[in-house]
């Protein structure tokens, strides 16, 4: 029987290797270790030649998750395989450790939302989340956790609020102040997505207020581009009418301005309209990646997809930019309960399966 894939099984969150498994070439089932009875597993593609394998925890391995070690492509049509030579190559593989992606919620300053006004909505939402055991993080706090190899917490959540501007005359600043105060009074970290509008005069008083929030430690400022630009054509491909100067102004100049003004370098680009990410290829637009690399942005945050586990090696590689998705208050049920429902779906389908309790 020819073996064509090799897995190492890890205990999460310690990432201790527990055992090794082989996969047959002839039958796409696990040639299981005698001590394991694995009867159901699913494959999730995380890179062209890398797969994450979930083994049904309920049945087989209640205390383990599985990381792929250089697994060959599972579908012949996908082409190249890392292990075409058979098991002798297996020892050369490097383990891939994975972090799940926390549920991530997008809000706007307009989130007075339907029947609830702001004061009705936000405190109720926060109460729901805290009651359900969620623990707030900013994107950069989550990055730090991964960089420091800390165990992923049971129920993290990232809340971001879009379209903050410190340009003079922007009408929603007072709403941001109110939203900030509610979150922080509840000890709930938030990420604020800034539209610089450097073509307009900036309000130093607003910047001073926001700098104070950042200094207190539970607020991260992300770039939301200089002009709230849409990077996408209708089909999700990159726009062809944008020049390298446009990209520079929208991303690098925006991020550096925020970093210079607050003293904290920007690590997160939250793209307007969830653009800058091509769903059909699951890739960030190359011009966006280039800008992010130049100024040290690690996350591009959009809306769709972006829920797959992150490899530790990717986190530590300074050149790699990670795409993360978000969810939003559901259309037709923009209430605290509706939001909670969306977040629980994410938690149950995309986060918890990769956590071992």
Positions touching Zn ion (CB under 5 A) are: 162-163, 272
State the minimum distance, in angstroms, from the CB of residue 162 to Zn ion.
4
Q: Which is nearer to Zn ion, 23 or 229 (CB)?
A: 229
Whether the Cβ atoms of residue 40 and residue 106 lie closer than 8 Å to each other = no
In the bound state with Zn ion, the residue whose beta carbon lies nearer, of 111 and 162, is: 162
Residues 6+ apart with CB under 8 A from 139: 158, 160, 191, 220, 222, 267, 268, 299, 301, 324
Residue with smallest beta-carbon separation from Zn ion: 162
Instruction: Please check whether residue 355 is in contact with residue 154, taking contact to mean a CB–CB distance below 8 angstroms.
Output: yes
Q: How far is the CB of 323 from Zn ion (least distance, A)?
A: 17
What's the residue count for the chain?
Answer: 357
- Smallest separation (angstroms) from Zn ion to the CB of 108: 7
Residues 6+ apart with CB under 8 A from 154: 133, 135, 355, 357
Give CB contacts under 8 A, 24+ apart, made by 143-149.
Answer: 143/267, 143/298, 143/299, 143/315, 146/99, 146/310, 146/312, 146/315, 147/315, 147/316, 149/312
Nearer to Zn ion, 73 or 275 (CB): 275
Quote the least distance from Cβ 176 to Zn ion, whole Å. Answer: 13
C-beta of 251: minimal distance to Zn ion in Å? 14
Give 272 or 325: the residue with its C-beta nearer to Zn ion.
272
Measured from the CB atom, the residue of 111 and 350 that comes closer to Zn ion is 111
């Amino acid at each position: 029987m020819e073996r064509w894939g090799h897995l190492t099984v890890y205990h999460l969150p310690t990432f201790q290797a527990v055992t090794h498994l082989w996969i047959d070439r002839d039958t796409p089932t696990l040639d299981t270790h005698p001590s394991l009875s694995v009867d159901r597993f699913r494959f999730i593609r995380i890179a062209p030649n890398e797969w994450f394998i979930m083994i049904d925890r309920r049945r087989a391995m209640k205390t383990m998750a599985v990381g792929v070690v250089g697994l060959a492509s599972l579908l012949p049509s996908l082409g190249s395989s890392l292990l075409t030579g058979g098991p002798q190559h297996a020892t050369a593989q490097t383990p891939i450790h994975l972090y799940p992606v926390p549920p991530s919620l997008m809000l706007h300053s307009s989130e007075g939302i339907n029947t609830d006004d702001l004061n009705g909505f936000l405190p109720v939402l926060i109460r729901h989340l805290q009651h359900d055991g969620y623990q707030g993080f900013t994107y950069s706090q989550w990055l730090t956790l991964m960089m420091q190899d800390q165990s992923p917490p049971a129920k993290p959540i990232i809340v971001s609020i879009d379209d903050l501007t410190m340009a003079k005359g922007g009408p929603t600043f007072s709403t941001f102040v109110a939203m900030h105060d509610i979150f922080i009074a509840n000890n709930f970290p938030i990420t604020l997505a800034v539209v610089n509008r450097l073509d307009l005069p900036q309000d130093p008083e607003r910047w001073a207020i926001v700098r104070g929030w950042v200094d207190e430690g539970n607020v991260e400022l992300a770039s939301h581009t200089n002009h709230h630009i849409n990077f996408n054509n209708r089909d999700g491909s990159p726009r062809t009418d944008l020049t390298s100067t446009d990209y520079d102004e929208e991303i690098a100049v925006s991020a550096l301005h925020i970093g210079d003004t607050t003293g904290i370098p920007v690590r997160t680009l939250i793209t307007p309209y969830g653009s800058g990410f091509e769903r059909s290829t699951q890739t960030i637009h190359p011009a966006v990646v280039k800008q992010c690399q130049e100024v040290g942005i690690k996350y591009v945050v959009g809306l769709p997809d972006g829920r797959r586990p992150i490899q530790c090696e990717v986190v530590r590689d300074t050149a790699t930019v990670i795409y993360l998705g978000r969810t939003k208050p559901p259309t037709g049920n923009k209430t605290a309960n509706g939001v909670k429902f969306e977040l629980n779906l994410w938690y149950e389908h995309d986060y918890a399966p990769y956590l071992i309790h």
